[in-house]
Amino acid sequence: MSMGSFKKHDEVPKLTEPLLPKEVVAIIDTQEQDQTNEEFWRKLWIETQKLWLIVGPAIFSRVASFAMNVITQAFAGHLGDVELASISIANTVIVGFNFGLLLGMASALETLCGQAFGAKRYHMLGIYMQRSWIVLFLCCFLLLPFYVFATPLLKLLGQPDDVAEWSGIVAIWLIPLHFSFAFQFPLQRFLQCQLKTMVIAWVSLLALVVNIVTSWLFVYVWDYGVIGAAIALDISWWILVFGMFGYTAFGGCPLTWSGFSLEAFSGLWEFLKLSAASGVMLCLENWYYRILILMTGQLENATVAVDALSVCMTMNGWEMMIAFAFFAGVGVRVANELGAGNAKAAKFATQVSVAQSTVIGLFLAVIIMIFDDQLTYIFTSSSLVLQAVHKMSLLLAISILLNSVQPVLSGVAVGSGWQAFVAYINIGCYYVIGLPLGILMGRVFESGVGGMWGGMMLGGTALQTVLLIIITARCDWEKEAEKANFRVKKWSTSSPNE
């Protein structure tokens, strides 16, 4: 055998050469990439279904509740200008002030019930809800002076005497509505955390129908006037309470409702502190733009400015029904996953919620920019108001875009139990920076309602949104899951402060 032949058969393969041909490796990499993409889209679809199982019915129920107020004002509007103004002010200022606080306090249940449901501590959901009933019911008594002394309070705020007098009368008749919040808000969150959201939607539809019928009966048939419109609103909100409680008590929630329990009276102080932190966090946001409307009324040419801002706030209000639905959806999803110890799933739920809400916000912002004149025609035909709204359409579009992100991040905060921390952020952004900046832009630099709104949006909402984005992006989800586990164990005892 020749030396050349020996070398040819005795060659050792190079250790750096791949064992498989490049073509085979490329095919395997492509298959792995396809599998990863397929898994991502499958996870996205599953998370979207879970999210919209909450968001869809939540949008409907919030629109129905919002529509009940609009219907009541529409019936009152046909009685006269003073009647319309009185029920609008009583509903917006007096009820709205207390609504924001009680709604925020009830959101503590989104943390506790959501995480307990994820941890499969089902029996505690009913206990938490009863504790919330007790705390909110007692707070309703503390807030009663706003209704009883509504007339002198409104006169102090500069309302005309006749409007203040009638608003005070209407506020007294809306006290039953006020007490319904103490039971309706906890019930809604109790059911949402169990993903029983279609029940809320059906009960909301029933309440809306009842509101239309009773408004017609009390205002037109029995001629009770504006007081009749208030009574119709009271009945409609109590329909929500009885409807949801009926479903809960008569077999709809066998795992989470086992009847009334004395255990609900234990740990009330700790529960009050958590509820108060939640209430402050949300009511600071709720009050912020109500202050803007009050300040606008003190500008020159206030009538046109207030009308234009009211149109913008109404359009923004309808969009907020979607934003608040995402707030509820992401709060429940994050709380459920953290309670179950699924840190990665909680993070993914946050990302999906923010992305989808932002896409919807972008779409609505573009619609506002293109069709602002046509949309304004729905509310008024005044050329001065149309021009004023047109000038503020960019601010409205930016506001809608911010509102598509900020409530979702607030929902993440509620689901994670960050209410007290976010409350401090809200105080700093809204009232230390935003409000003074709005006053500076609107009054000192005399840029009118647009400057005031822009200053408050830039210093308040935009800054708060950026801070929440940073906090959420830097969140250690594994640590949050551990905190949720500790919180569930702590609150599952009869006395949480032990």
pLDDT of 63 reads 85
pLDDT of 197 reads 87
pLDDT of 244 reads 95
Q: What is the DSSP letter of 476?
A: -
pLDDT of 439 reads 82
Residue 342's alpha-carbon distances to 331, 349, 414, in angstroms, are 15, 11, 17
**DSSP-based three-state secondary structure for 314:** helix
**DSSP-based three-state secondary structure for 259:** coil
Q: What is the mean pLDDT of each run of 10 residues along the chain (498 residues)?
A: 47 51 58 68 88 88 83 74 73 80 83 86 90 92 91 79 83 93 93 89 93 90 86 93 94 88 82 79 73 66 68 79 86 88 89 91 90 75 78 86 87 82 83 85 74 82 89 89 83 58
Alpha carbons 48 and 56: distance in angstroms, whole number: 11
Structure tokens at 189: 């969150």
Nearest to residue 268, comparing CAs of 134, 79, 120? 134
b/e 292-322 (16+ beta carbons within 10 angstroms → b)? bbebbeebeeeebbbbbbbbbbebbeebbbb
Nearest to residue 267, comparing CAs of 278, 257, 275, 277? 275
Nearest to residue 335, comparing CAs of 414, 271, 282, 422? 414
Alpha carbons 230 and 463: distance in angstroms, whole number: 39
CB 124 within 8 A of CB 177: no
pLDDT of 2 reads 46
Structure tokens at 138: 């007692």
Alpha carbons 112 and 291: distance in angstroms, whole number: 32
Crossing angle for the helix pair 419-426 and 463-473, to the nearest 10 degrees: 150
pLDDT of 141 reads 93
Helices (H), 340-447: 343-376, 383-391, 393-403, 406-416, 419-426, 435-439
Amino acid of residue 64: A
Nearest to residue 404, comparing CAs of 307, 316, 344? 316
- Which residues 6+ apart lie within 8 Å of 21 measured at CB? none
Indicate the length of the chain as a whole number.
498
Alpha carbons 154 and 172: distance in angstroms, whole number: 14
- What predicted TM-score, i.e. pTM, was given to this entire model? 0.81
pLDDT of 416 reads 82
Nearest to residue 113, comparing CAs of 52, 19, 32, 195? 195
CB 460 within 8 A of CB 430: yes
pLDDT of 187 reads 95
CB 68 within 8 A of CB 150: no
pLDDT of 3 reads 46
**DSSP-based three-state secondary structure for 293:** helix
pLDDT of 203 reads 94
